[in-house]
Structure 1
Amino acid sequence: MLAGQMMTQPLTITSIMQFADRVFPEVEVVSFTADNPRHRYTLKDAFKRARQLANALAAFGIQTGDRVATLAWNDYRHFELYYAVPCSGAVCHTINPRLFPEQLEYIINHADDKIIFTDPTFLPLLENLQHKLPTVQKIIVLSDAASMPQTTLQNIDNYEDFISNYVDKFDWPEIDENTASGLCYTSGTTGNPKGVLYSHRSCVLHSYAAALPDTMNLSSKDVILPIVPMFHVNAWSIPYCAAMVGAKIVFPGSKMGDGETLETLINSEQVTLSAGVPTVWLALLNYLRDSGKKVPSLNRVIVGGAACPLSIMEEFEREHNIYTHHSWGMTETSPLGVFNSPKAGMENLSQDELNKIRLKQGRPVFGVDLRIVADDGSEQPWDGESIGEVRVKGNWICKSYYKLEGSDSHDNKGYLRTGDVACIDQRGYMHITDRTKDVIKSGGEWISSIELENAAIGHPAIHETAVIGIPHPKWSERPLLIAVKAPDKNISATELIAYLEGKVAKWWIPEEVAFVDKLPHTATGKVSKKDLRIQFEKFTSSSS
């Protein structure tokens, strides 16, 4: 072999930070926070404070590989953690506050988090768990001293005091690119949540891919509003790829679902690109429609987490000249797997043909090896008709779960089993048709049908239950609880829904219950959800 004579440099988040600090120091970062409705500073300021934070973490005793947790909204302090923690050699563990308390307890303890940085909003969650988290030594509230709320938590401090006594110079360690940088847990739809441990290398390569012209098409001319939360899959890598290209970032804080706040931020900061789940786009469109306002600077939005209705795409384009891109991925894929952007030559297609393509999840991004596999293990052709489970392999795809290396999450060829069922057409566009697991995706978040069924069956008046997803105009899907009453027992839908309160996450609780005489079963005695979906295919949730 004749080796090339080119230099190699580690692909690290530190390299992104140092590059942006030198080349784009003047680029702004704007945030909506609890203690400041419009905080504004530059990348130079952000990385200066990140060095102070790194010194504070070192003084506290955080070492290479230690897990530092965040329970926080999208804002500038969270942004500083995104760099200071992994660049100092530790692991930034972002926690989804929407999970049920038992799941939060499991995640924090499974990760052995030593310190938690939390938004003031989430203090009640931690107060209820404080005696169940033996590894957590300190909690830092993302605020200044004046804005610190009252709390019963011990060993607590505010962020500004935590970093204020430290210099803004820090000798960043040389890190191997395969060093762990971030940790994010799945929603635990079957069993306990599973940890996905990202590396510096995977994050840098993912950021490169996300910025490509046929994906997010990012440049220094963009102003990006990441509505997708930073507590979930690195906010689709926007905090990294935006700094990589020098794009201005606008963080919405806790107001990511408020249409009026989003309109104000978009117009005042001249946002050109935003990313989020369909629910937030519906909130924005509803506000724009009711107020009569426009968002002329915004030219494209990216939708992931759930399928985007064509009505949202059409209204964005018809009323606001905004193009909507579908995308697909999961925690295990960092999350970019496929992205829907038009190919050359498609401009000659009819509107109906274009709409059919736009409703698909998209084409694989270079770096993602994607295949469709039938039940017998054979790879399916890309003909737009053959379906199978989506399986993926690539440089930012997890090869095993944290502390669960022996699981059967991958096939014998090393491909991740995603659990999604899809077909791929001749142009390479993937269309998700079903899921192998009976989970429901509502507002971009997973709901476990099994856990809902197990909770409902606990009522003495219920004999058997099944949960399926039904269409919803706002949340894409909501759970429908189908129940068989026990002999000689009676219960109303309202009573059964009330019974679920406190047993599952509040936002999981169905708004609809359908009582039936019996449930269909397969030959092996399992409830046939395929038959239930056919039976209730015209049932649409009436909740708002």
Structure 2
Amino acid sequence: MNGLMMQQPLLVTSLLTHAERHHAEQEIVSRRVEGDIHRYRYRDLAQRSRKLANALAGLGVMHGERVATLAWNGYRHMELYFAVSGSGAVLHTLNPRLHVDQLAYIIDHAEDRVVFFDLTFLPLIESVASRISSPKVFVAMTDRANMPEAHGLPVTLLCYEDLIDGHSDQFAWPLLDENEASSLCYTSGTTGNPKGVLYSHRSTVLHTYAAALPDSLNCSARDVILPVVPMFHVNAWGLPYIACMVGAKLVFPGPALDGKSLYELIESEQVTLSAGVPTVWQGLLRHAGERGATFSSMRRTIVGGAPCPTAMTTEFQERYEVDVLHAWGMTELSPVGTVCSFKAQHLTWPTQQRYALQAKQGRAVFGIDMRIVDVDGKELPWGTHEAGDLQVRGPWVASGYFGGEEASPLCDGWFPTGDVAKIDSDGFMQITDRSKDVIKSGGEWISSIDIENVACLHPQVASAVCIAARHPKWDERPLLLVVRKPEATLRCEELLDFFDGRVAKWWKPDAVVFIDAVPLGATGKVLKNRLRDQYRDYYLTV
């Protein structure tokens, strides 16, 4: 016998409709590319999104076609989130940090119908336009007063504000199949061509539910949320959708992501929660530290995209009273997989024991199942010291890639993440390495992440990367590459001595190389492959 419940599809537009009805007066604040601060409310977002949906129909965008964005975090970008997906097309967010050839490949591969872009990216758009196979409709996300001259485009450049002003705000969101595609995001493609991950309306709404929970990102109508993580990459970790669901105030930083700009926005708008990658938070902490500043409102920050060093967690919590939520996910996971939220018994643990727990990536949010397996695919037990290949499954985990050129990545119904991890008896997962980054020295495994975390504890270290370098005796040995803090005088021997008592003797790197900067990829992740190419023979040449 079936349950007697209404059948209501889970659609992205249901989030916007809810926000308009129940949180109409809540603010959305954006620092614009034009340099000023823009303010409006959820009712305005909903009204303009409907006008934009009509404008898309006027441009001839058909059901299921892709509409691309090349934009910072801002209110116009959020309008596209709902107008495109809600009208039955597919929102395709482009990452401006990718190489122009990769962008051209992605636009062609996705067969984007229209490309919306912020003024910052006009030169990039002009470069891309000469590389794509067919002309597109290009729309500059600005008003008539700020419209640029564009001589490098094969078609007429449209103005965003003119486009929507010419249309009615009356639009009935179609009742779509919840399993239809809502948005598309390509992996960063550090090896080979980027691959497209196609999210559905159902997967997006379920992800939003789970990510907003108290033991996940813990969002509510009382929050003021600043997504520093970009809307052009896995939907800013779902925060724009979450804000609509719970009715939180949203603050968008636009292109200004330096420490000073972020700090001023956090204080002026009384931000309570923010989210970003460790490299962004390093700039914020440096700015606050140099000025002896404090945070008057921010009480939580979500750190993901790369392992959060214990030194960063300590500084946030002890110096600024800002709790750190360490999270893990992937483009293929929409992206949230785990969040390091304490259970009741952990609150009474000694400080250092709690910090050790916070260094883990955390517990799976409801909807995500995970396991670790050995090289033969046999599941390994939790609560031991065994590490294995991390696999996940769930209703917002990708089962394949857009275009279908590749075979399904699934292994017996599980998605292989490419991470090597341990899971403790409480279900807290800790990534010990990427499968391609683990160091095998003399037949024994060494975690590059553990080495990096210890190095970052030194007060004169700004950032550290550990790679496997070929060795004449041990096959591989860890090599530590370090960026010193400004004015630091740290020497190699001093840093190596710092490892004594903190790691096993045979884990201790044999050498330290000081570098000017750590190379970062399109999503803010460290490009270890580039450093390996440069330094993999270090021990063979010294």
The TM-score, its normalising length taken from structure 1, stands at 0.82
Task: Supply the distance in 1 between the matched residues of 2:8 and 2:481 (Cα, whole angstroms).
Answer: 50
Contact 1:183 1:195 in 2 (8 A): yes
Q: Which moved more, 1:147-156 or 1:42-51?
A: 147-156
Go from structure 1 to structure 2 and tell me whether the alpha carbon gap of 1:356 and 1:221 turns closer, same or farther (over 3 Å shift).
Answer: same
Q: What SS does the aligned partner of 1:274 have?
A: strand
Equivalent AA in structure 1 for residue 189 of structure 2: G
1:414 matches 2:416:
no
1:403 matches 2:390:
no
1:269 corresponds to which residue?
Answer: 269
Deviations 1:245-285 (A, max 9, x none): 00000000001x21111111111111100000011111111
Go from structure 1 to structure 2 and tell me whether the alpha carbon gap of 1:87 and 1:363 turns closer, same or farther (over 3 Å shift).
Answer: same
- Once the two structures are superposed, the pairs formed by residues 123-142 of structure 1 within 5 Å of their partners are 123-142=122-141
1:309 corresponds to which residue?
Answer: 309
Deviations 1:164-200 (A, max 9, x none): 1111111211111001000000011231100000000
Deviations 1:404-447 (A, max 9, x none): 26425110x211111011000111111101112359999xxxx9
Q: What SS does the aligned partner of 1:79 have?
A: helix
Contact 1:114 1:136 in 2 (8 A): no
Task: Supply the distance in 2 between the matched residues of 1:429 and 1:473 (Cα, whole angstroms).
Answer: 32
- Once the two structures are superposed, the pairs formed by residues 115-514 of structure 1 within 5 Å of their partners are 115-152=114-151, 153=153, 154-255=155-256, 257-404=257-404, 406-411=406-411, 413-438=412-437, 470=481, 513-514=534-535
What's the % identity of the aligned pairs? 49
Go from structure 1 to structure 2 and tell me whether the alpha carbon gap of 1:231 and 1:512 turns closer, same or farther (over 3 Å shift).
Answer: same
Contact 1:115 1:136 in 2 (8 A): no
Equivalent AA in structure 2 for residue 275 of structure 1: A
Shift of 1:108: 0.6
1:17 corresponds to which residue?
Answer: 16
Equivalent AA in structure 2 for residue 285 of structure 1: L
Task: Supply the distance in 2 between the matched residues of 1:419 and 1:384 (Cα, whole angstroms).
Answer: 20
Task: Supply the distance in 1 between the matched residues of 2:278 and 2:539 (Cα, whole angstroms).
Answer: 35
Equivalent AA in structure 2 for residue 125 of structure 1: L
Contact 1:373 1:390 in 2 (8 A): yes
Task: Supply the distance in 2 between the matched residues of 1:226 and 1:245 (Cα, whole angstroms).
Answer: 15
2:3 corresponds to which residue?
Answer: 4
Shift of 1:468: 8.5
Q: What SS does the aligned partner of 1:270 have?
A: coil
Task: Supply the distance in 1 between the matched residues of 2:374 and 2:63 (Cα, whole angstroms).
Answer: 43
Contact 1:137 1:155 in 2 (8 A): no
Go from structure 1 to structure 2 and tell me whether the alpha carbon gap of 1:318 and 1:403 turns closer, same or farther (over 3 Å shift).
Answer: same
Q: What SS does the aligned partner of 2:308 have?
A: coil
Structure 1 alignment gaps of length 5 or more: 450-465, 475-492, 521-534, 536-544
Shift of 1:516: 4.5
Shift of 1:469: 8.3
Equivalent AA in structure 1 for residue 398 of structure 2: C
Q: Which moved more, 1:48-57 or 1:307-316?
A: 307-316
Moved over 4 A (4+): 438-442, 466-474, 507-520
Q: What SS does the aligned partner of 2:206 have?
A: helix
Deviations 1:510-532 (A, max 9, x none): 69954858869xxxxxxxxxxxx
Deviations 1:296-338 (A, max 9, x none): 1000000000011111111111221100010000000000100
1:76 corresponds to which residue?
Answer: 75
1:41 corresponds to which residue?
Answer: 40
Contact 2:328 2:338 in 1 (8 A): yes
Task: Supply the distance in 2 between the matched residues of 1:231 and 1:472 (Cα, whole angstroms).
Answer: 28
Task: Supply the distance in 2 between the matched residues of 1:473 and 1:149 (Cα, whole angstroms).
Answer: 41
Shift of 1:149: 2.4
Go from structure 1 to structure 2 and tell me whether the alpha carbon gap of 1:379 and 1:517 turns closer, same or farther (over 3 Å shift).
Answer: closer
Q: What SS does the aligned partner of 2:290 have?
A: helix
Go from structure 1 to structure 2 and tell me whether the alpha carbon gap of 1:327 and 1:518 turns closer, same or farther (over 3 Å shift).
Answer: closer
Equivalent AA in structure 1 for residue 122 of structure 2: L
Contact 1:333 1:396 in 2 (8 A): yes
Equivalent AA in structure 2 for residue 237 of structure 1: G
1:53 corresponds to which residue?
Answer: 52
Q: What SS does the aligned partner of 2:44 have?
A: helix
Go from structure 1 to structure 2 and tell me whether the alpha carbon gap of 1:518 and 1:215 turns closer, same or farther (over 3 Å shift).
Answer: closer
Go from structure 1 to structure 2 and tell me whether the alpha carbon gap of 1:473 and 1:414 turns closer, same or farther (over 3 Å shift).
Answer: farther
Shift of 1:467: 12
Task: Supply the distance in 2 between the matched residues of 1:135 and 1:12 (Cα, whole angstroms).
Answer: 32
Task: Supply the distance in 2 between the matched residues of 1:125 and 1:468 (Cα, whole angstroms).
Answer: 37
Structure 2 alignment gaps of length 5 or more: 439-447, 453-464, 468-476, 486-512
Q: What SS does the aligned partner of 2:194 have?
A: coil
Go from structure 1 to structure 2 and tell me whether the alpha carbon gap of 1:517 and 1:172 turns closer, same or farther (over 3 Å shift).
Answer: closer
**Equivalences, count:** 473
Task: Supply the distance in 2 between the matched residues of 1:59 and 1:515 (Cα, whole angstroms).
Answer: 55
1:65 matches 2:64:
yes
Deviations 1:195-247 (A, max 9, x none): 00000000000000011000111110000000000000010111111110000
1:532 corresponds to which residue?
Answer: none
1:86 matches 2:118:
no
1:486 corresponds to which residue?
Answer: none
Deviations 1:453-475 (A, max 9, x none): xxxxxxxxxxxxx998845579x
Task: Supply the distance in 2 between the matched residues of 1:144 and 1:244 (Cα, whole angstroms).
Answer: 29
Task: Supply the distance in 1 between the matched residues of 2:394 and 2:424 (Cα, whole angstroms).
Answer: 21
Q: What SS does the aligned partner of 2:433 have?
A: strand
Task: Supply the distance in 2 between the matched residues of 1:94 and 1:82 (Cα, whole angstroms).
Answer: 9
Shift of 1:292: 2.1
Contact 1:73 1:253 in 2 (8 A): yes
Contact 2:150 2:157 in 1 (8 A): no
1:32 corresponds to which residue?
Answer: 31
Go from structure 1 to structure 2 and tell me whether the alpha carbon gap of 1:60 and 1:358 turns closer, same or farther (over 3 Å shift).
Answer: same
Equivalent AA in structure 2 for residue 66 of structure 1: E
1:479 corresponds to which residue?
Answer: none
